Amino acid sequence: AQSVTQLGSHVSVSEGALVLLRCNYSSSVPPYLFWYVQYPNQGLQLLLKYTSAATLVKGINGFEAEFKKSETSFHLTKPSAHMSDAAEYFCAVSEGNSGGYQKVTFGTGTKLQVIP
Amino acid sequence: DTGVSQDPRHKITKRGQNVTFRCDPISEHNRLYWYRQTLGQGPEFLTYFQNEAQLEKSRLLSDRFSAERPKGSFSTLEIQRTEQGDSAMYLCASSLGRTGEATGELFFGEGSRLTVL
């Protein structure tokens, strides 16, 4: 069964500092991996996704993530945090199943706080 | 197209009452998902529709829960005889995908928050 583990339920960074949110996955088949962001009182929206093309994936708002098969990781980074990045971030793994559809499993989330 | 919409956004009910949530997906999307999100947790899968067919239900979905997607358009999630443990955010998501495709983006609504007193 597929799963993702997000290390750190809360991360605080200073404005302008590097953002690093960790995600490790477990999947019996080559995974498709996603990062979603959720702002307060809003739904989740896609930041970026890895679908077995380039291992370094660039997303919206300056975020990027690198797929490392040897480490089963898909950590999310941003060189310089902005106040508007304060939100909750979810790592997710997707795989097809016998029913022919996409099953998406989410991690428990990491709340990012940006300190002025 | 204004995205996935959910109604109501907030529902407060007393234990034992029935509640129903509605989700209107993006019009051309054939896949529809329901997830439940509690405080400090990520979205947990509840059920999935491909067009009007309900293809999978999580064991989280007890017999008090029922979901429908008539005509493959909007969907409803009904909870009968609500319990305090049902208090959560219920998220609906939709996507467009061919059979076997697993790379699609899920588009989420803003959720329906249920509080059971």
Q: Token pair of B74, please?
A: 């909007």
pLDDT in tens, A33-91: 999 999 988 889 999 999 877 889 999 999 999 999 999 999 999 999 999 999 999 99
Residues whose CB falls within 8 Å of the CB of residue B58, separated by 6 or more in sequence, listed in order: B44, B45, B46, B47
Q: Most B CBs within 10 Å: which of A27, A57, A98, A104, as the mutation test of the B interface? A: A104
CB B36 within 8 A of CB A103: no
Q: Rounded CA gap, A71 and A25, in Å?
A: 9
Angstrom distance (rounded) from CA A76 to CA A59: 10
Q: Of A101, A103, A111, which to mutate for an interface test with B (greatest number of B Cβ within 10 Å)?
A: A101
Chain B residue numbers touching A6 (CB-CB < 8 A): 42
- Structure-block tokens of residue A23: 């995600």
pLDDT (0 to 100) of residue A102: 78
pLDDT band for A99, please (50, 70, 90 cuts): low
Closest Cα in chain A, distance from residue B81 (Å)? 27
pLDDT, tens digit, for every residue of B21-37? 999 999 989 999 999 99
**Of B114, B105, B103, B78, which is closest to residue B3 (Cα–Cα)?**
B105
Query: Under 8 Å CB-to-CB from A69, ≥6 apart: which residues?
Result: none
**Cα A64 from Cα A25, distance rounded (Å):** 17
Contact B102 A94 (CB under 8 A): yes
A32 to B102: CB separation less than 8 angstroms, yes or no: yes
Across B67-74, average pLDDT? 92
Q: Where are the beta strands (DSSP E) in A27-96?
A: 32-38, 44-50, 56-58, 64-68, 73-78, 87-96
Place of tokens 């990781």: A73
Distance of residue B100 Cα from the nearest chain A Cα, in angstroms: 4
Asked if A43's CB is within 8 angstroms of B109's CB, the reply is yes
Distance CA A36, CA B105 (A): 10
Residues 98-117 of chain B with CB under 8 A from chain A are: 99-106, 108-111
Instruction: Give SS3 for A93.
Output: strand
Q: How many inter-chain contacts (A to B, CB under 8 Å) are there?
A: 77
Output the six-digit token pair for A14.
């200073």
B71 phi/psi in degrees, rounded to 5 = 65, 15
- E strands of chain B, at which residues? 5-7, 10-13, 19-24, 31-37, 44-50, 53-57, 65-68, 75-79, 88-95, 107-108, 112-116
In chain B, whose CA is at the least distance from the CA of A89?
B42
For residues B1 and B96, what is the distance between their CA atoms, to the nearest angstrom? 15
pLDDT band at B1 (very low <50, low <70, confident <90, very high): low
CA dist., res. B72 & res. B83, Å (int): 29
Q: Is residue B7 within 8 angstroms of chain A, CB to CB?
A: no
pLDDT of residue B56: 85
Least confidently predicted of A68-72, A98-102, B65-69:
A98-102
Contact at CB, A43 and B106, closer than 8 angstroms: no
pLDDT band at B85 (very low <50, low <70, confident <90, very high): very high
pLDDT at B103 over 80: no
